[in-house]
């Protein structure tokens, strides 16, 4: 345009009119590419500091630092740099198999297979209370019901350790894929002692049928019939119910014997517990 102005000695206005060009086109000056490179470097710096932030938050951070940048440009630079918010890593859960179901690997003798599971209820004040039930699948005996507002994997290990000291170590332990049961602490501890864990398939409670049946009895015959004042009251009442369940409740699957009667008539196969304490990372005590 300037060349035409000089050649024909005309003004910018006249030259633009003749060529049908807007005068504003003569004022545009493109921003240098190094400006984008500078902003990209700043973006990458913030991404390293805050890897879970997306481009919108990073853009706002740039603005707070005095940069003039709109969301459209921010997104363009973000994409050009190949950036994206990394997906959250999902914690791998233990996956059970059909072969661990109670009808496939059934208990053959006393303390062959124990099963455990949680049941949840509430006290009169509306607060949650949990029951960890541990049952011998062969005799249907309820070996223990651990009561607590919160029961961690460490609490579960303490409970098992006490039962191992009392009854001996079972060959196998059947359970679902609950977070407490798949914890590294429990898996390593049981592996050290030599107990095989039988994880059932996710979403298949019937594969842990013995414990599910016990849970139903606990709910119907105790929790739905009893007001629990507090944790201490729940612990006291469930202890009495467990004693009644073991010694006075006949089971059709046991020839209408009680679990205690059936256990006394069965030949126990119990592994020694003398070396148990030296393998325990947690004390043989109930928390």
Burial of 225 (0-12, 13-18, 19+ CB in 10 A): exposed
| Distance in angstroms (rounded) separating the CA atoms of residues 69 and 212 | 60
Q: What pLDDT digit, counting tens, does each position of 94-116 carry?
A: 565 554 555 556 788 999 999 99
Backbone angles phi, psi at 82, to 5 degrees: 70, 30
CA distance to 4, 36, 39, 122, 158, per residue, from 226 (Å): 100, 70, 67, 11, 28
Q: What pLDDT digit, counting tens, does each position of 190-202 carry?
A: 999 999 998 888 8
CA distance to 47, 86, 176, per residue, from 218 (Å): 53, 45, 18
Average pLDDT on 201-219 reads: 86
Collapse the DSSP code of 225 into the 3-class scheme (helix H, G, I; strand E, B; otherwise coil) and give the result: coil
Q: What CATH architecture does domain 98-279 belong to? A: 2-Layer Sandwich (3.30)
pLDDT value of residue 217: 92
Q: Boundaries of CATH 3.30.420.10 in the chain?
A: 98-279
Q: What pLDDT digit, counting tens, does each position of 168-192 carry?
A: 999 999 888 888 888 889 999 999 9
Backbone angles phi, psi at 192, to 5 degrees: -65, -40
Please report how many Cα atoms fall inside a 13 Å half-sphere around the Cα of residue 256, on the Cβ side.
0
Average pLDDT, the chain: 82
Q: Can you give the length of the chain in residues?
A: 287
Residue 132 has pLDDT above 90, yes or no: yes
pLDDT classification of 278: cutoffs 50, 70, 90? very low
């Amino acid at each position: 345009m300037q060349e035409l102005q000089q050649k024909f000695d005309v003004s910018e206005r006249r030259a633009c009119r003749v060529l049908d060009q807007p005068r504003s086109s003569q004022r545009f000056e493109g921003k240098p590419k190094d400006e984008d490179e500078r902003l990209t470097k700043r973006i990458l710096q913030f991404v390293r500091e805050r890897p879970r932030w997306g481009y919108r938050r990073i853009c706002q951070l740039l603005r707070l630092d005095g940069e003039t940048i709109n969301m459209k440009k921010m997104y363009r630079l973000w994409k050009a740099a190949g950036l994206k918010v990394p997906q959250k890593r999902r914690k791998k859960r233990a996956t059970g198999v059909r072969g661990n179901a109670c009808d496939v690997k059934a208990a053959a003798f006393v303390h062959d297979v124990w099963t455990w599971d949680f049941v949840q209820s509430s006290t009169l004040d509306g607060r949650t209370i949990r029951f960890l039930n541990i049952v011998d699948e062969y005799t249907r005996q309820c070996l223990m019901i651990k009561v607590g507002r919160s029961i961690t994997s460490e609490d579960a290990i303490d409970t098992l350790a006490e039962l191992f000291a009392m009854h001996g170590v079972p060959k196998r332990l059947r359970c679902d894929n609950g977070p407490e049961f798949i914890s590294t602490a429990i898996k390593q501890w049981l592996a050290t002692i030599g107990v095989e864990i039988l994880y059932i398939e996710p979403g298949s409670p019937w594969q842990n049928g013995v414990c599910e049946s016990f849970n139903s009895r606990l709910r119907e015959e105790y929790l739905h019939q009893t007001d629990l004042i507090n944790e201490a009251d729940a612990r006291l009442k469930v202890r009495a119910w467990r004693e009644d369940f073991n010694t006075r409740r006949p089971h059709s699957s046991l020839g209408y014997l009680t679990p205690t009667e059936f256990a006394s008539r069965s030949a126990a196969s119990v592994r020694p517990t003398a070396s148990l304490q030296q393998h325990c990372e947690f004390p043989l005590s109930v928390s």
